[in-house]
Chain A
């Protein structure tokens, strides 16, 4: 074992320099040319940063497209899911309460039309997106509060729907922050 201690220490030091200093600095250096400069892309409204494009935020007010439930209240200082199992009785009560709340805020919506994403928490607690269906089911409520026609809002959601990758792979989605920024700009 003794003969191997020297090489072990020396190799470790050399590799620390290569892997933990040079490598991340090279990545950080090249990433300064990426959108957001490797610090995360932000979205600005009237000169004020209102959020990160990819990090979801809480929208609970009726005049906005509401984001999904979150186990960490969208505080991106941390992250987390509920980790509730599918058969957990208390968890199912929480979901039932969310359904009731949603129905109360969206009169006229039928329960069987609510997509489950609106009453279940995401994995990160920071999900930035909704499915197109999850956004559109909220249109009647927002149209009424804002006095904007449902057709116009439908069009807005369509404009902000990002289709599958190359049109072939993965789900369609609507970025909640961007669609709400656009919503505020409508009138």
Chain B
């Protein structure tokens, strides 16, 4: 157990140690002139980028305002959706399908296309049988790169608005998008993929193998070019695994070393982006305060989950067996309870959604912490979009503290007025609205129409009864709205009701929280810059950090408390 704790400490320490230089590097990447070198280590990639701009028909020097940038973002996203949907719908008849897997049904293809388009990676199928090598690489892995880059590019647009010298132009979406791939995501993915491959993760295109075991059973073994995809699914806060059980699978996550590398990859870029903000807009203290608030929140969620998992399941203890390793249902021996609890919190903090243990089987406290993590969705957060969510809370905090001290609310030298505040409030309320309303609808359906003649009868949706069953539904919509992608996988979710409702929640939960902050940023950037004076409320202090934390706690935590009380908390108190 001691070495398990050391492993977790090492993972977090290494992440921060790597994130500090990476943040500096990322700021340089985005600051660089698009057609010239940025003075960073990967300048040799510049010719490749020029080739991509030329073949793509993009003028990298063109400056666009926030509306043009959003139109560019939405247009290319729409195209990806159509492309992904039809590929999945016809994958069974397309090449690179050595295992002979079938095409997806229209509702499953709709859900899958949206889920990967919005960087959520909720999976209502299992990778071994639900996809082909073609769709794994050309749809799933492709979207894992480009949607992560989309989030990062949107974030840079907001960064640009926070710089003092900016007017109404926020830069060029395409440039930030391409550079995010060529200079950040692709090089890091290559490193991680090779570490995985040399530790036993398959990377070749060979199909499923059949073996006769020592005990003379005949079983199959699924394989495929998995290493490359697993790398970007971890780094891009995507989370959709090659195999059905994600990084609990011994080929997707072969040993403790790969587990450390994969888990570090989950929060590396999200933390680095906070530091990048400090360098990019030249406000390092503000970045430190933001990092501090996020880290305190992260730890407050992690430790209860850690203690719950290593203490084990009280109901198993009652049966009289020993739990020296903690709660082991749904967990792997080579990873252990502590590393699984840590993964559970990193993956829900960041909208990653990959898992290395089955969250459905974890203790109620862990379930509660994971859901709360996604309900807040701003402690580190997804690549790019995590900061956008935090930005909304910052605006609300600025406004509230401005009112409390009786001054006009200002953020980084620009007045926050009614219009920005309306957008921020709507975005902040959207998240609880999506989660709670959809969970209410599914609960109503389950109770009142248990025998409806659908592919899966509502009465058979749940894998567990009572409080835990409710948690399965609450978790699914929380994960969808937060674009996380992890699940209480016992839920029978591959049917029209869940594919459709989750798909809707996914779209709203992705694009509105991108459009809102970019719009706020665009509006702020158009305003006159007022230099900070003694009359300005400073936003880079511990006091302001505390106010931000309080705002997050009040908006996110309290609006979800009743739902959590019905699910995991009730289960916790009833578990003896």
- From residue A148, how far is it (CB to closest CB) to chain B in Å? 17
> Which of chain A's residues 71-93 have a Cβ closer than 8 Å to chain B?
74-89, 91-92
The answer on a CB contact under 8 Å between A57 and B571 is no
Q: How far is the CA of A77 from the CA of B223 in the complex (A)?
A: 9
The answer on a CB contact under 8 Å between A6 and B128 is no
> Which of chain A's residues 27-73 have a Cβ closer than 8 Å to chain B?
27-28, 30-32, 34-42, 45, 48-61, 64, 68
> Which of chain A's residues 94-123 have a Cβ closer than 8 Å to chain B?
95-96, 99, 111-117, 119-123
The answer on a CB contact under 8 Å between A24 and B213 is no
Q: Across the interface, name the chain A residue whose C-beta is closest to B218.
A: A75
- Given A40-B200, A79-B244, A83-B330, is A12 in contact with B80 using a C-beta cutoff of 8 Å? yes
B331 within 8 A of A: yes
B423 within 8 A of A: no
Q: Across the interface, name the chain A residue whose C-beta is closest to B331.
A: A123
Q: Across the interface, name the chain A residue whose C-beta is closest to B249.
A: A124
> Which of chain B's residues 163-197 have a Cβ closer than 8 Å to chain A?
174, 178, 181, 186, 189-190, 193-194, 197
A145 within 8 A of B: no
A187 within 8 A of B: no
Q: How far is the CA of A177 from the CA of B250 in the complex (A)?
A: 14
- From residue A160, how far is it (CB to closest CB) to chain B in Å? 13
- Given A4-B75, A57-B219, A85-B361, is A79 in contact with B128 using a C-beta cutoff of 8 Å? yes
- From residue A89, how far is it (CB to closest CB) to chain B in Å? 8
Of the stretches B334-342, B368-376, B542-550, the one at the interface is B334-342
The answer on a CB contact under 8 Å between A31 and B197 is yes
Please give, as numbers and ranges, the residues of chain B lying within 8 Å of A168 by CB-CB distance: 3, 6-7, 10
Please give, as numbers and ranges, the residues of chain B lying within 8 Å of A164 by CB-CB distance: 3, 6-7, 256
B214 within 8 A of A: yes
The answer on a CB contact under 8 Å between A52 and B221 is yes
The interface bits of chain B over 50-87 (1 if a CB of A lies within 8 angstroms of the residue's CB, else 0) are 00100111100000000000011011100110010000
The answer on a CB contact under 8 Å between A14 and B52 is yes
B463 within 8 A of A: yes
Q: How far is the CA of A144 from the CA of B107 in the complex (A)?
A: 56
Q: How far is the CA of A168 from the CA of B257 in the complex (A)?
A: 11
Q: Across the interface, name the chain A residue whose C-beta is closest to B463.
A: A83
Please give, as numbers and ranges, the residues of chain A lying within 8 Å of B260 by CB-CB distance: 165, 169
Of the stretches B139-147, B293-301, B440-448, B551-559, the one at the interface is B139-147
Q: Across the interface, name the chain B residue whose C-beta is closest to A4.
A: B75
B450 within 8 A of A: no
Q: How far is the CA of A74 from the CA of B250 in the complex (A)?
A: 12
Please give, as numbers and ranges, the residues of chain B lying within 8 Å of A27 by CB-CB distance: 190, 193-194, 197, 203, 225, 227-228
- Given A4-B76, A76-B220, A87-B315, is A28 in contact with B200 using a C-beta cutoff of 8 Å? no
Interface of A is mostly: mixed
The answer on a CB contact under 8 Å between B204 and A77 is no
The answer on a CB contact under 8 Å between A24 and B364 is no
The answer on a CB contact under 8 Å between B219 and A116 is no
B505 within 8 A of A: no
- From residue A93, how far is it (CB to closest CB) to chain B in Å? 10
- From residue B64, how far is it (CB to closest CB) to chain A in Å? 10
The answer on a CB contact under 8 Å between B357 and A15 is no
The answer on a CB contact under 8 Å between A11 and B52 is yes
Q: How far is the CA of A170 from the CA of B332 in the complex (A)?
A: 12
Interface residues on B, range: 35 or more
The answer on a CB contact under 8 Å between B251 and A55 is yes
Please give, as numbers and ranges, the residues of chain A lying within 8 Å of B490 by CB-CB distance: 83-85
The answer on a CB contact under 8 Å between A80 and B244 is yes
B417 within 8 A of A: no
Please give, as numbers and ranges, the residues of chain B lying within 8 Å of A28 by CB-CB distance: 203-205, 225, 228
- Given A23-B190, A115-B324, A119-B321, is A15 in contact with B181 using a C-beta cutoff of 8 Å? yes
- From residue A60, how far is it (CB to closest CB) to chain B in Å? 7
Q: Across the interface, name the chain A residue whose C-beta is closest to B259.
A: A170
Q: How far is the CA of A111 from the CA of B322 in the complex (A)?
A: 8
The answer on a CB contact under 8 Å between B360 and A84 is yes
Q: How far is the CA of A53 from the CA of B220 in the complex (A)?
A: 14
The answer on a CB contact under 8 Å between B56 and A7 is yes
Please give, as numbers and ranges, the residues of chain A lying within 8 Å of B364 by CB-CB distance: 86-87
> Which of chain A's residues 135-187 have a Cβ closer than 8 Å to chain B?
164-165, 168-173, 177, 180-181, 184
Task: Pick from A11, A32, A38, A78: contact of B58, CB below 8 A.
Answer: A11
The answer on a CB contact under 8 Å between A127 and B332 is yes
Q: How far is the CA of A20 from the CA of B142 in the complex (A)?
A: 6
Task: Pick from B145, B215, B219: contact of A61, CB below 8 A.
Answer: B215
Please give, as numbers and ranges, the residues of chain B lying within 8 Å of A31 by CB-CB distance: 194, 197-198, 203-204, 227
- From residue B502, how far is it (CB to closest CB) to chain A in Å? 17
Q: How far is the CA of A119 from the CA of B193 in the complex (A)?
A: 34
Taking Cβ atoms with an 8 Å cutoff, the residues of B that contact A are 3-4, 6-7, 10, 52, 55-58, 71-72, 74-76, 79-80, 83, 126, 128-129, 137-138, 141-142, 145-146, 174, 178, 181, 186, 189-190, 193-194, 197-198, 200, 202-206, 208-209, 211-215, 217, 219-223, 225, 227-229, 243-245, 248-251, 254-257, 259-260, 312-313, 315-316, 319-325, 327-336, 339-340, 355-358, 360-364, 463-469, 471, 488-490, 571, 574-575
Known pairs A50-B213, A134-B333 / 8 extra A-B pairs, C-beta < 8 Å: A12-B76, A34-B198, A51-B214, A78-B126, A85-B571, A87-B315, A123-B248, A123-B331
19 contacting pairs across A/B (C-beta < 8 A): A6-B57, A18-B181, A19-B141, A19-B142, A19-B146, A19-B186, A27-B197, A28-B225, A38-B203, A51-B214, A79-B128, A83-B490, A89-B465, A99-B319, A116-B325, A122-B248, A123-B355, A133-B324, A171-B335
Which 10 interchain pairs have the tightest Cβ spacing? A77-B220, A83-B490, A123-B248, A85-B468, A170-B256, A31-B203, A81-B358, A11-B56, A38-B203, A31-B197
